[in-house]
């Protein structure tokens, strides 16, 4: 059974989700459509990339992931990308570079059928490509091969011998805060030393890591490395982002010492 996933910023109030699903069901009876999310903040490719990266590996090879974050520019390009046996269809707005490196993927630029400002790119361009893939057409026949996609620079954590400076890169629906500090970087700089994590107000300091969300008492602030290997800060049964005053790109600092 073919699987198509949808990751969009369309919300659930208006018609686009139903229009896309209805078209797919009509063209591909038996297709299974999985809604990853339709609540991505408008045009937030960083959050979309994080969300899709966090779950795409769970799907079988041959899965088609449609990314519905469209761009109103007349210069837009739409790509079909094959990576690790799965397909990703979306606007070339930098999102692909946040998920994988170009040399690890096969890239095709999809033809834009007479483009007008009213074109619904997901419906008019990506859906025909997805249907062709489901019917067994090779990726190379869908458009023009490309060597690269648009590169979007992502802020990386900085560091010296004793300090890592990172930033908030994602806030989930429970208001847990995900940073861009990886477990590998933490271990490489920390070398097993004592540490403390400070945030915006410096009111809360975290001096140990938890293994799971259930390791602390209600209301306590905690830190752990999540399933993506990124440092996450939360509050047991509380909205960490709101109560700690943290938002996207806020600085998170880890200082190590030998005592």
**Domain ranges within the chain, ordered by starting residue:** 3-146, 158-257
Q: Residue 91: its pLDDT value, please?
A: 94
Q: Residue 73: its pLDDT value, please?
A: 59
- Whether 197 contacts 206, CB under 8 Å: yes
Q: Residue 72: its pLDDT value, please?
A: 58
Q: Residue 227: its pLDDT value, please?
A: 87
Contacts of 70 (CB under 8 A, 6+ apart): 76, 91, 120, 121, 122
Grouping H, G, I as helix, E, B as strand and the rest as coil, residue 120 is coil
Indicate the pTM of the whole model: 0.83
Place of tokens 């041959």: 62
Q: Residue 144: its pLDDT value, please?
A: 95
Q: Residue 256: its pLDDT value, please?
A: 95
CATH architecture of residue range(s) 3-146: 3-Layer(aba) Sandwich (3.40)
Tens-binned pLDDT, residue by residue, of the chain (259 aa): 899 999 999 999 999 999 999 999 999 999 999 999 999 999 889 899 999 999 999 999 999 999 999 765 557 889 999 999 999 999 999 999 999 988 999 999 999 866 655 678 899 899 999 999 999 999 999 999 999 998 887 778 899 999 999 999 889 989 999 999 999 999 999 999 999 999 876 677 899 999 888 888 888 899 999 988 999 999 988 898 998 888 888 899 999 987 6
Contacts of 160 (CB under 8 A, 6+ apart): none
Helices (H), 29-157: 45-55, 121, 127-134
- Residue 119 tokens read as 């074109």
Q: Residue 200: its pLDDT value, please?
A: 76
Concatenated DSSP letters of 162-199: SEEEEEEEEE-TT--EEEEEEHHHHHHHHTT-EEEEE-
Domain 158-257 belongs in CATH node 3.40.50.150: no
Give me the numbers of helices (H) and strands (E) for the chain, helices first please.
6, 15
- Whether 82 contacts 127, CB under 8 Å: no
Grouping H, G, I as helix, E, B as strand and the rest as coil, residue 81 is strand
């Amino acid at each position: 059974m073919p699987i198509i996933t949808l990751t969009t910023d369309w919300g659930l109030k208006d018609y686009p989700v139903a229009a896309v699903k209805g078209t797919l069901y009509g063209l591909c009876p038996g297709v299974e459509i999985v809604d990853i999310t339709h609540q991505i903040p408008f045009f937030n490719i960083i959050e979309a990339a994080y969300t899709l990266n966090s779950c795409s590996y769970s799907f079988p090879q041959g899965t088609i992931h449609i990314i519905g974050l469209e761009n109103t520019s007349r210069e837009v390009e739409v790509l079909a990308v094959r990576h690790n046996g799965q397909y990703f269809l979306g606007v070339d707005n930098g999102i692909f570079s946040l998920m994988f490196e170009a040399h690890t993927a096969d890239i095709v630029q999809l033809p834009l059928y007479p483009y007008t400002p009213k074109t619904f790119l997901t419906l008019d361009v990506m859906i025909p490509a997805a249907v062709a893939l489901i019917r067994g057409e090779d990726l190379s026949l869908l458009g023009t091969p490309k060597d690269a996609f648009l590169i979007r620079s992502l802020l990386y954590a900085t560091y010296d011998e004793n300090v890592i400076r990172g930033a908030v890169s994602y806030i989930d629906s429970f208001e847990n805060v995900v940073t861009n500090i990886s477990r590998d970087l933490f271990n490489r700089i920390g070398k097993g030393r004592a540490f403390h994590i400070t945030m915006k107000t410096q009111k809360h300091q975290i001096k140990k890591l938890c293994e799971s969300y259930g390791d602390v008492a209600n209301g306590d602030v905690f830190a752990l490395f999540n399933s993506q290997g990124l440092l996450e800060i939360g509050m047991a049964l509380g909205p960490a982002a709101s109560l700690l005053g943290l938002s996207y790109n806020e600085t998170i600092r880890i200082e190590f010492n030998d005592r």
